[in-house]
Chains A and B, each alone.
Chain A
Amino acid sequence: MTQPMQPPEDVAIVAFAQTPSYACFNDSEPAMIMPCVNSVIEQTGMDRHDIDFTIAGSCDYLSGLPFAFVMNIDAVGAWPPVYESHVEMDGAWALFEGFVRLQSGDIDTVLVSGSGKCSPGSYREGFSLQTDPYVHAPIGLDPRTQAGFQAQALIAAGKATERDFAEVVARSHANAKANPYAQLSGDLLVGDLLAEPYLQQPLRRHDCPPTSDGAGAMIIARADKARELCDNPVWIRAIDHRIESHHPTLRDLTDSPSVRLAAERVGLHHGPVDVAELTVTYSPEEIILREALGLDEATSVNPSGGPLTGSPFMAVGLTRVIELARAIANGDGGRGVAHASSGPALQQNLLCVLEGDS
């Protein structure tokens, strides 16, 4: 059993903001990020020049432009010059690096953002370039196809049925009715969903995420500063992330050993798990994640509706952390876990444990 990590410094989320999940945001990516950044700065009452470090997550390929991330600094403001960095990953990994950076104890505040616009491009064509360039990418092995393999593996192993997938979808859409940021929501009947045609057997349209544009941002701070900036900080107790092989055939697609390992490292079950915000990009993933995380009925899973109801890639993982922080700040739970994922079929997974201010 891996020992849970003990981050040396207490770090809290002191402000967070997100855009709605847009089917198509008719303006530039910086224009999407800027309201989030302005909002978190306003919430803390800080002067933007007092933020010690800024880190963003985004992906050039979504914009179809090398160095697309350079434009995003317009949303942060970089004059006078700023101490800043960028990960070519979901904003949740920007949060990871920001959290780690605060552990050194020599700075107090980090502004984290994540953003992505899926609407301008072809998600299936673009994301097939995530696979290895010599064997998989030339045959167009796209994420939906790999999600289909995963779903089929679950069914073949007797771990889930298409009805289980439909139930995930129905619950996600029902939960999203209360989420003003969701792109899709409503009351769906499992029987109706199962009557829909296959998009890619065994996946139906509703088992897959919508195309979304969106952004999110937060400010995190070390303990003393967090208390100064916020009356109700949400504490980040641990963050860990792990990856699995890129060869689908080397993996048990019905399980997620990387999630199990990360769960041990963040000490997930060293306290109650009231809420879990999971990056369920395809409905079968929720079944795998619930099992790997060891969640039972005591945990409310994706009360926001999750990515099946709005999936702005590169912001979607950070948005899980934001949704969880909101739930905890609102008193909908005392402790919970947010999950972000990268790569096809849950290849890489990040867990972040948040706890209320008690």
Chain B
Amino acid sequence: MAPRPCAVLGIGQTKYRRRRDDVTLDGLVREAALGALEDAGAGFDDIDAIVLGKAPDALEGVMMPLLSLCDALGAVGKPIHRVHTAGSVGASTAISAVNLVESGMYDTVLTIAYEKQSEGNATWALSGGKSGGQGAGGTFAPWIRNYIARSKAPEHIGWMVAVKDRLNALKNPFAHLHLPDISVEKVRESPMLWDPLHFLESCPSSDGAAAMVLGNDDIAKKSGRPPAWVISHAKRTEFGQFPGRDTVRPQAGVECSEALYRKAGITNPREQIDCAELYVPFSWYEPMWLEGHLIAEEGEGWKMTDAGHTELGGSFPVNMSGGVLSSNPIGASGMIRCLEAANQVRGTAGEYQVPGAKISIGHAYGGAAQYYAMWMVSSELNPEL
């Protein structure tokens, strides 16, 4: 049989903050789950299965947390399973939930991802459980330097992305960082963390959860909610290190986007896709992913940023919601990219809506830039390209 059509029918997000001391882990995930159910006009009784995702258990010190969160997620008596694919996990989890609907075996699926960084020590965990580690920025900074050298991009590109995403975040009530007085000067003068990344070019540590209700075509029809049809999804993984590996433009990222576009019949992503939510935890990853995911030619991604094409109102807006640079509950960050892409094609993105957006992509990457998960959503099941 062919995959059963699957649509996003409900979206829920918590407010992202440095600390959500007002809720337990149970309260945090339930807040997002209830939001998604309300948006879908559904209740826990309508849910056939639940798919949970988060980054390593060690971030909060709770082993296999689906076991202790199942009551809060209304999962008792139901199938619930847990995905873990490093930083890409939020998007991988959403894709696993799509697989459940596409299989024809589950009509309505709740998917949720979260992180409560304030209950643990993320930099310790992201350094492989070693104290005094380099953190994620320390891993990526040399590759960013390499990108700058290869593409001959001017240094202000990173600062521009940092400003653009924070200005977008001002339009998103869920965003963690609201920095109304952000400017290129402020970014440039903020402390250097990992050369060339300044403090303000780096993502924050956030608590938060994000959830979606997915349903098949029958459920979508019945719900009456605006659907975001998942018209394509793809995942690719490669080794984290080996001689000759291209860490600036990893092959797994290239092949993931090729698979994504092929399945949807996209031949010119720059023209046929209206906007994108890309996983950009450090400013320079915007141009790197524009190129690495074939939206721009090699060496041309930074020019799109420089010309303002990736701004809201530009010809190819990126991270309209403010992106990972404005909210980073790690395990949820990939799911937020996916649901913000869905918000755009559902016309539910509020002040950061791209007018008339019909096709959008959500993207996440993880590990040593070796795990990729992407999905493409559309306001129509069979959009004209």
Contact = CB atoms under 8 A, between A and B. Distances in A.
Interface of A: 5, 7-9, 59-61, 64-67, 69-70, 73-74, 78-89, 93, 96-97, 100-101, 103-106, 126-127, 129-134, 136-137, 240-247, 250, 257-258, 261, 342-344, 347-348
A16 B57 CA distance: 29
10 contacts: A8-B105, A78-B370, A81-B252, A97-B96, A105-B3, A130-B67, A132-B68, A243-B70, A243-B80, A261-B77
B1 A9 contact: yes
Interface of B: 1-4, 24-26, 56-64, 66-71, 75-86, 92, 96, 99-100, 102-105, 119, 125-126, 128-129, 234-240, 242, 251-252, 255-256, 259, 367, 370
B82 A88 contact: yes
A308 B222 CA distance: 49
A344 B4 CA distance: 36
Given A79-B239, A348-B67, A5 B99 contact: no
B67 A347 contact: yes
B67 A133 contact: no
Contact of A88 (B24, B61, B84, B104): B84
Nearest to A102: B103
Contacts of A93: 81-82
A80 B85 CA distance: 18
Closest 10 CB pairs of A and B: A103-B103, A66-B56, A81-B252, A129-B63, A88-B84, A104-B3, A132-B68, A81-B238, A343-B67, A84-B237
Given A104-B4, A242-B77, 20 more contacts: A8-B105, A66-B126, A78-B370, A79-B242, A81-B255, A85-B235, A86-B84, A86-B85, A87-B83, A88-B83, A89-B81, A100-B100, A100-B103, A126-B63, A127-B63, A130-B68, A132-B26, A241-B81, A243-B79, A246-B69
Contacts of A80: 238, 251, 255
Contact of B86 (A70, A132, A134, A243): A70
Given A130-B67, A244-B76, A245-B70, A83 B235 contact: yes
A82 B236 contact: yes
Contacts, number: 188
Given A85-B96, A126-B63, A69 B236 contact: no
- Residue among A65, A66, A97, A257 having the largest count of chain B Cβ atoms under 10 Å: A66
A103 B2 contact: no
Contacts of B82: 87-89, 93
Contact of A61 (B4, B57, B67, B99): B57
A96 B68 CA distance: 21
Contacts of A246: 67-71
Contacts of A344: 67
B125 A96 contact: no
Given A87-B83, A93-B81, A100 B99 contact: yes
- Residue among B69, B81, B99, B102 having the largest count of chain A Cβ atoms under 10 Å: B81
Contacts of A59: 57, 63-64
A65 B92 CA distance: 21
Contact of A129 (B61, B86, B96): B61
A340 to B, nearest CB: 12
A160 to B, nearest CB: 25
Contacts of A87: 81-84
